Amino acid sequence: MKTIHLAKQVLFGLGILAGTSLAGSAALAAYPDRPITVVVPFGAGSGTDAIARMVAQGLAEKLGQPAAVANKPGAGGIIGASFVANSEPDGYTLLVATSGPMAANASLYNKLAYDPQADFEPVSIVAKRPMVVLASKEAKAHSFSEIVAEAKANPGKINFGSSNTTSRVFVELLKKSQDIQVETVLYKDVSSLMTDLISGRVSYAFEDAGPSLTQIKADRVNLVAVSDKKRAGFAPDTPATSEYGFDDRGLVTWYAVFAPKNTPPEVVAQLNKTINAYIQGPEMKAMAKEVGLELTNVTPSEFKEFQKAEIIKWKHLVDLTGVKLD
């Protein structure tokens, strides 16, 4: 009798497990069955915001459910990233972020409210783009070497505007490598920085190429250099910082999609496939050409290894420059 009773228990347990498995499979098969929220840890009008809106549009078109962008700016991307890290891992809350909150912050902050790797599932890298060195129309220097020469001749008297962590590190790297002293003027967002750069209240800046290109094309600011080992396709006549012998250590911006940790791998795979397919479409390619993006196509595992390498790179940069944000 005990044997029969035990057998019934085992079969009952297997039935529960099978039922749970089938329910889980059905839920995954139905994904998505409600709207998706795409969180941006920066303000509206930023380069990340523009790309997130394209990602949301692609998800909505290809998955058949609305996808809305929610801007949660503040604290160098910490607020938005933390929100997603603490969201349900069901594929309905995603993060579109950059190397700042998802690589640099791990070293820039002694105490971070989230772990860029342990708290997220990497979904897809959307694109990469070099940063740009800008000069106000009122500035004296018109080339990267002239900026360095001006700084040497006037220690501590010229300024660089900064609205993100990458630009903070760039300025410190510039100061250290060229043995110069410049003032760093901090801004909460790129719009405020651009306003002051256009008016001449700040002389120079190192910024994301995305929001900068509008002002460059309108001839409101001067493009001095791009931060890469090669010239950018959107500005073939503008030298790369490497041409001046400056090693910017690969300070390019990448834009990527993350999901909360423990999001089902099937959902992550579906999101990756959907986003990569949209990236290769005509609409995204047209946008990329217009705003200087280099589109990518990677798997979640490839992205995971890339992010790991970026976190190591940023630790080296932070150790080298001594920049800390807390």
Give residue-wise pLDDT tens across range 263-280: 999 999 999 999 999 999
CB of 129 closer than 8 Å to CB of 136: no
The residues with which 256 forms a beta bridge, in sequence order, are 97, 125
Query: What is the average pLDDT value for the chain, to the nearest integer?
Result: 88
Between the alpha carbon of residue 253 and those of residues 76, 93, 185, 208, 263, the distances in Å are 14, 23, 20, 7, 26
HSE (side-chain half, CA atoms, 13 Å) at 187: 25
pLDDT in tens, 180-199: 999 999 988 888 999 999 99
- Pairwise pLDDT comparison (323 vs 34), residue with the higher score: 34
> What is the predicted pLDDT for the residue at 260?
98
**First-to-last C-alpha distance (Å) of the chain:** 67
Name the residue type at position 106: A
**What's the confidence (pLDDT) of residue 106?**
95
Average pLDDT over residues 66-86: 95
Q: Report the amino acid identity of residue 198.
A: I
What string of DSSP letters covers 80-102?
HHHHHHTS-SSSSEEEEEEHIII
Kindly state the average pLDDT of the residues 5-13: 44
pTM summary value = 0.84
Sequence-separated contacts (24+) of 278-281 with Cβ below 8 Å:
278/54, 278/55, 278/58, 278/59, 278/61, 278/62, 279/58, 279/124, 279/126, 279/127, 281/58
Instruction: State the pLDDT confidence band at 4, using cuts at 50, 70 and 90.
Output: very low
pLDDT digits (tens, 9 = 90+) for 87-138: 999 999 999 999 999 999 999 999 999 999 999 999 999 999 888 999 999 9
Please state, in angstroms and rounded to a whole number, the distance separating the CA atoms of residues 134 and 289: 20
